[in-house]
Structure 1
Amino acid sequence: MANRATIKDVAREAGVSVTTVDRAINGRATVRSETLKKIADAAQRVGYHGMGTFRDRLDQSVPEVNLGFVLLKQSQEFYRNFAQEIERAVEARTDIRGKAAIRFSSSQSPAEFADLLTELGETCDAIAGAAVNDQKLDRVVQGLKDRNVPVFSLLNDFAQGIRKNYVGLNNMKVGRLAAWLITKTVHVPGKLAIFVGGNRWHGHDLREVGFRSFVREAGAGFSVLDTLVNLETRQLTYEATLDLLDRHPDLNGIYVAGGGMEGAIAALRERHSEPKVALIVNELTADSRAALIDGYAIMAIATPLPELCKDLVDMMIAAIGQANDGVSGQYFLEPRLYLPEIL
C-alpha cells in the first residue's frame, strides 16, 4: 500500500534515528523505556502497523507496581473525584506499569478500615488511606511496615509514628482560616457552630482546635457552641442544623469541618429564603458550588486533588523497596480557597 507508514516515518515523528527504531522493533540492543514510549506514541500517531511490538517491548522494560488506596464512602462526590484523580496519577507514570486498587469504606468502623488495609497488604507494594485513628489500625500498619509495605495516611493522620508519611492539608491552619473568614465577614457578633465527623478523626480535632483558638484570640464578641458530631452524614447534619437554628436565633456562622455539608446547605435553604448564616464548608462539589453562587456558603476550603495524587504516587513509588529509615514525616499541601466572587 503506497501510503503505509514505515519506520522512517516513525523515526521522524519520534525525533530519533531509524537505527534506534530498528533496535526497538527487533530488540538487538537495549533501548531506554522513555525512548520506547516516545517511539510507541509516534508509531500510533503515524499508524505504523507494528506499533504493537513497541507496546510489548515497553511493557517488558518497566516494572509492575501495585498501589493500594482506601477512601471513604463512594456515594460522596468528593471521594469519587479522589478516586478518579488517583487513577489518572497512576496512569500518567511511564516508568512503571502501575495498577491502582481502590477500596471504599462504607462506614467509620475501625474494623472495616483495618480489614481493607489488610486485604490490600496481600497484593500491594505500597498503600495510602484516609482512615480514622484507632489502635486496630496501628497494629495493622505496624504489621505492614514489618513486611516492608509502606503506608501513607491521607487527609487524616492515623497511625502516627508508624506510617511512612502524612499527605494532606495542615488541619490546624485550615480551622484557623475558617474562623478568620467568619469573624471578618460577620459584622454582628453572635454564636458560631462547628461540625466534626467523629471523635476518631484527628484531623477534625485539629480543625476544631484551630477554629476555637482563633475565635478566642480575635476577641470580637463571638462564642463557639459545643461541637456537634455528624458522622459525616447529610441527614444528621441537616437535622442538627435545623435544631441549631431553632435553639439559637443569634447563630451567625457554621463551619462543617468534615463531610455532611450537603445537610447544612439544605437546612439553611429550607429555613431562610435569603442567606442569613455564614457557612464555611470543605471541598468544592456541585452542592457547595451552588451554595456559594447563591450566597448560602461564604467559602469552600478544598484539597488540591490533582496535585495531591501526583505527589502521593511519586512518594509511594519512591518508598517501595527502600529500607525503613524510621522517619515519619508530614507533607502539607496548600488548600484551594473558593469564594462566591471567583466562581
Structure 2
Amino acid sequence: MKRPTIPDLAEAAGVSVSTINRILNDAGNVRQSTRERVLRAAAEIGFYGLGTIEHAVSIGRERHRLGVLLQRGDRTFYRNLGDALTTEAEAFAGDRIELTLEFLEDLSPDKVADHIRSLGERCESLAVVAPQHPLVADGIDWVINRGVPVTSLIGPLSARGNVSFVGLDNWKVGRTAAWAFDKMVRKPGKIGILVGNYRLRNQEMNESGFRMYFREHNNKFVLLDPLITYETAAVARELVETMLTTHPDMCGLFVSGGGITGAISALRDTPKRDDFVSVGYELFGETRAALIDGTLSLVISHPMRTFARRSLETLIKTKKTGPDAGAQRVTIGFEIYSPESV
C-alpha cells in the first residue's frame, strides 16, 4: 500500500494541506481542537509523521499540576484509588496532568494539616481524604488563602473557605444498607455496626442514614451502639468477636468503615448461620471472596474509575475557576454487589 501523504491526511482530517504543514512545523496559529482532530486522523490512516503531530498536540495542551493526598497506602482501597487516579491522569483527553499522589501513614490531625500545606505549596489544585478536625480545617484554609482550591474526596470537609466535594451520597449509602437488612433478614433482631473513625464524615452520614431508615420503616430492629475500628483490621476482628459473644442473637453486621478484612476474618471463624446478614463497604479481592463464600451478603462500593475521572475533572475545574468561585459538589452513583453478581 502507498504510504499516506500530507494531502491524504488533510482529506481524512477535513482540513487544508497548509494546516497540516503548520502543525508539522509547530506553528502556534492552529487551534488545539484542530490539532487533536488531525492527530486522530493521522493515527487512523497510519501517517508517517505521527510522532511530530503528537508532539505538536502535547505542546498545545494545557498543563495542570494536581495533588491528591490519600490515607494509608497499606489499605487496598486507597491503593486501588491511587492506581485509578494515575491511570485516568495518563489517559486524560485534552490536557496534560502532572499528578502528585501521596499516601499518609500518620493520620494525626497535625500531620494531616502539615501535609496538606506541603502539597498546597507544590500544586495548583488539591484533593484530600481527611478527618474533620479544627487543625485540618486550618490547614485547608491556609492552602485556599494561597489561591489553591481544595476538594474533599469520599467524605465532605468544612473550613472557612470553599471546599468542594466528590464522592457518594453517604446518606443514601446508609439507607441502602438498612434496606438490605430489612428485606433479607428473616426475623428482625440486633444489628452490630462498625465505623472506622467518627471524624470521617462519610461514615457518620452512613450511620445516620442507616438509623433513619429503620425509624421510618421498621422499628423492630435493634441497632447496637457503633464501635470504632480506627480503620484497623485487628481492632475490627476483636470487636466483631466480642459482639458475637456478647450478643449471640445478632441477626446482622453493618461494616460502615475501615477494618472490613478483620471483620470478615471474625465472621469466617464463626459457624455460618443462614439467618445472619452482613453488609460491607468497597469491592476488592478480600470482599469479593467473602461475597462468594457467603461471609458477606452485600457490598456497597465506589465505581473506582468513574470516581477517579470525576475527581480529576473537578480538580481542573476548580483550578480554572479559583477558590472564590464557590464549592463544587459532585455526587457519583454507587455500585451494589451480591454473591450472584461478582
* Shift, 1:125, TM fit: 0.7
Structure 2 equivalent of residue 258 of structure 1 = 257
- Residue 300, structure 1, aligned to residue 299, structure 2: yes
Deviations 1:29-59 (A, max 9, x none): 6222233233335445655443332233223
Higher mean alpha-carbon deviation, 281-290 vs 53-62, is at 53-62
- Cα distance in 2 for residues equivalent to 1:16 and 1:267: 65
Instruction: Give the superposition deviation at 1:9.
Output: 4.4
1:317 maps to 316
Aligned-partner Cα distance in 1 for 2:27–2:321: 33
SS in 1 for 2:340: helix
2:151 & 2:128 partners in 1: Cα distance?
A: 6
2:224 match: 225
Structure 1 CA distance for aligned equivalents of residues 93 and 244 of structure 2 = 53
Call closer, same or farther: CA 1:46–1:165 in 2, change over 3 Å: same
Alpha carbons 1:196, 1:258 under 8 Å: kept: yes
1:51 and 1:330 map into 2 onto residues whose CA distance is: 39
> How much has 1:118 moved relative to structure 2?
1.4
Instruction: Please give the root-mean-square deviation of Cα atoms over the aligned residues, in Å.
Output: 2.3
**Which moves more between the two structures, 73-82 or 133-142?**
73-82
1:55-85 CA deviation, whole Å, 9 max, x = no partner?
A: 3322321222101001122222221221122
The 2-side partners of 1:240 and 1:187 are apart by 24
1:137 matched residue in structure 2 = 136
1:248-274 deviations in whole A, cap 9, x for unaligned?
110111111112111111111111245
TM-score with structure 2 length normalisation? 0.91
3-state SS in 2 of match to 1:252: strand
Amino acid aligned to 2:127: A
Whole-angstrom CA distance in 2 between matches of 1:185 and 1:116: 44
Looking at structure 1, the residues matched to 280 and 194 of structure 2 have their Cα atoms a distance apart, in angstroms, of 10
* Structure 1 residues not aligned, in runs of 5+: none
For the residues of structure 2 that align with 1:61 and 1:28, how far apart are their CA atoms? 10
C-alpha separation in 2, matches of 1:108 and 1:252: 34
**Contact between 1:148 and 1:321, CA under 8 Å: does it hold in 2?**
no
In structure 2, the residue matched to 1:175 is 174
CA 1:137 to 1:241, structure 2 compared with 1: closer, same or farther past 3 Å?
A: same
Aligned to 1:52: 51
Superposed displacement of residue 184, structure 1: 1.9
Cα distance, 1:197 vs structure 2: 0.8
Q: Measured at CA, do residues 323 and 88 of structure 1 come closer, stay the same or move farther in structure 2, by a change above 3 Å?
A: same
Alignment of 1:228-247 (within 5 A): 228-247=227-246
Q: Look up the match of 1:34.
A: 33
Give the count of matched residue pairs.
342
Report the AA paired with residue 213 of structure 1: M
Is 1:211 paired with 2:221? no
The equivalences for 1:101-140 within 5 A come to 101-140=100-139
Letter of the structure 2 residue corresponding to residue 64 of structure 1: R
Q: Deviations over 1:177-224 (max 9, x none)?
A: 211211221111211111111121122111112212222333342111
Change (3 A) 1:12 1:275: farther
CA distance in 2, matches of 1:162, 1:308: 24
How high is the TM-score relative to the length of structure 1? 0.91
